[in-house]
């Protein structure tokens, strides 16, 4: 289902990188967008960008790893913008480190945001979409869901898990003849701020596996 003008779209991880580019891509086509991320100040910057491009947007500060906050974010979007048409699970975190040096709490956080955050977002989206028999859920995945690389074991594991989860859900929706769609967009190496933000124990600055693309390429694919 391609977004139509004034479709109501939720984007998690909306304050930076691919999420921010996705917001811009939908906003310039006049869609209404719920921006979900943890940092209110960055969310507000993205919200203003969306408005300047012709979209309508609200900023909802929430931790995607907390299912209660995810449900509250969805309800606020529906209350202020209307029924959700599209839900995009984009939030992620990673750690650049040999696994032997990674701490258990770091693995937990990567898994809670990158995998469970998408699971919680999907479950909330389904609770809103299934009764209406309408909607699309987009998982922002990675080529690392198919071929893992060293020094990002927790992140690769989370993306593999999300792929399996999504394939299972797709079978259920097909069985039920549901008009709710689910898809996963597997991204390449991208030039995003995560390489500045993420915790790293590497001796050199991390970068994506080439070829490296700009976030706008990913945003167009998601749209």
Task: Set out the domains of the chain in order of their start, with CATH numbers.
Answer: 8-208 (3.40.50.720)
Residue 6: what pLDDT?
84
The three-class DSSP label of residue 215 is helix
Tokens 């991320």 map to which residue? 37
| Cα 21 from Cα 49, distance rounded (Å) | 10
pLDDT, residue 5, reads 54
Neighbours of 223 (CB within 10 A): 20
Q: Which residues are catalytic?
A: 155
**Nearest residue to 25 via CA among 217, 220, 221:** 220
Q: What is the pLDDT of residues 160-175, one digit of tens each?
A: 999 999 999 999 999 9
User: Is it the case that residue 1 has pLDDT exceeding 50?
Assistant: no
Measuring CA to CA, which residue among 107, 214, 100 is closest to residue 150? 100
Confidence band, pLDDT 50/70/90 cuts, at residue 152: very high
Q: pLDDT confidence of 4, banded at 50, 70, 90?
A: low
Residue 196's pLDDT is 87
- Kindly state the average pLDDT of the residues 170-191: 97
pLDDT top residue among 209 and 57: 57
Residue 43 CA, distance from chain mean position: 14
Q: CA–CA separation, 74 vs 135, rounded Å?
A: 14
pLDDT digits (tens, 9 = 90+) for 32-85: 999 999 999 999 999 999 999 999 999 999 999 999 999 999 999 999 999 999
Q: What is the pLDDT of residues 93-151, one digit of tens each?
A: 999 999 999 999 999 999 999 999 999 999 999 999 999 999 999 999 999 999 999 99
Ranking 19-33, 118-132, 145-159, 185-199 by mean pLDDT, the lowest is 185-199
Tokens of 12: 């998690």
Q: What is the pLDDT of residue 131?
A: 98
- Using the predicted structure, report yes or no on whether residue 158 has a pLDDT greater than 50: yes
HSE-up of residue 37 (Cα within 13 Å, Cβ side): 27
Q: Which residue in 127, 121, 123, 118 sits closest to 93, CA to CA?
A: 118
d(CA 87, CA 55): 16
Alpha helical stretches, state H, the chain: 17-27, 40-52, 67-80, 104-110, 117-129, 153-175, 194-197, 215-222
The pLDDT of 176-183, averaged and rounded, is 98
Judged against a pLDDT cut of 90, whether residue 18 lies above it is answered with yes
- Give the tokens for residue 125: 């989206």
Query: Would you tell me how many other CB atoms lie within 10 Å of the CB of residue 207?
Result: 11
Say how far apart CA 70 and CA 109 lie, in whole Å. Answer: 16
Q: How sure is the predictor about 194, in pLDDT bands with cuts at 50, 70 and 90?
A: confident
Cα–Cα distance for residue pair 50/97, rounded to 1 Å: 35
Q: Is residue 217 pLDDT above 80, yes or no?
A: yes
**Whole-angstrom Cα distance, residue 89 to residue 140?**
6
Q: What distance in Å separates the CA atoms of residue 140 and residue 212, rounded to the nearest whole number?
A: 17
């Amino acid at each position: 289902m391609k977004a139509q003008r004034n479709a109501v779209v939720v984007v998690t991880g909306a304050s930076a990188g691919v999420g921010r580019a996705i917001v811009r891509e939908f906003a310039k086509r006049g869609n209404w967008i719920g921006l979900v991320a943890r940092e209110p100040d960055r969310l507000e910057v993205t919200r203003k960008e969306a408005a300047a491009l012709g979209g309508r947007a609200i900023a909802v500060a929430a931790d995607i790893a907390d299912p209660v906050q995810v449900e509250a974010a969805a309800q606020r979007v529906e209350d202020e913008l209307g029924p959700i048409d599209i839900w995009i699970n984009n939030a992620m975190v990673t750690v650049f480190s040999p696994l032997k040096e990674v701490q258990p709490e770091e693995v937990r956080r990567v898994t809670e945001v990158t995998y469970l955050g998408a699971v919680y977002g999907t479950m909330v989206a389904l609770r809103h979409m299934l009764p209406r028999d309408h909607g699309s859920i987009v998982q922002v995945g990675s080529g690392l869901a198919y071929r893992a690389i060293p020094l990002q074991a927790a992140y690769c594991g989370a993306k593999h898990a999300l792929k399996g989860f999504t394939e299972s859900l797709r079978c259920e929706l097909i069985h039920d003849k549901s008009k709710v769609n689910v898809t996963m967009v597997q991204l390449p190496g991208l030039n995003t701020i995560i390489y500045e933000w993420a915790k790293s124990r590497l001796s050199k600055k991390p970068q994506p596996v080439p070829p490296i693309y700009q976030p706008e390429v990913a945003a167009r694919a998601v749209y």
